[in-house]
Chain A
Amino acid sequence: QKEVEQNSGPLSVPEGAIASLNCTYSDRVSQSFFWYRQYSGKSPELIMSIYSNGDKEDGRFTAQLNKASQYVSLLIRDSQPSDSATYLCAVVGAGGTSYGKLTFGQGTILTVHP
């Protein structure tokens, strides 16, 4: 089982719709979770961090965390063509050999079409 798994997509949504990106992780004791966005030809940049169960909202972005289910998601409301990018889920390991390592999922390619 991969440490961090994402649906690779691609995910295509119309402009104005809600894009839903999902991620599961294997380290049951992980406490820190992140979403990075990577535009084509560019480096990843942090867009959201979440540490507690529940929802965290930042503008059009909402991160959701369920530690019991080992599940993290990112919702993008009112999707815009400028949101078209690869979204990377990242988890900081908290146990064993994964301690302190920031592990990324494969990424989900999102395309928002006008």
Chain B
Amino acid sequence: NAGVTQTPKFQVLKTGQSMTLQCAQDMNHEYMSWYRQDPGMGLRLIHYSVGAGITDQGEVPNGYNVSRSTTEDFPLRLLSAAPSQTSVYFCASSWTVSYNEQFFGPGTRLTVL
């Protein structure tokens, strides 16, 4: 199993550009989530999904969109990139969120100029 994969590993954007961060898992997990990690801030939840077709907002959803058309994939879209979105983004998955460990991807380091 590849586990949780994320692409790209690194990305540089200009302010106003849009892009999609990809996340895929091959463990048939129902629950998937996106976090951003800023220095000294720990991880903050952006969006999460409890299954295909179901998504909800986390702590910091503004400026991001998600969709979950399949169990395996959970892409994160930046609509109009801003310097404040410079961060490291992590995708995670688990069977369910309750009483289950989260499996994390390796992260995408995003810089917005």
Whether chain B is bound by chain A comes out as no
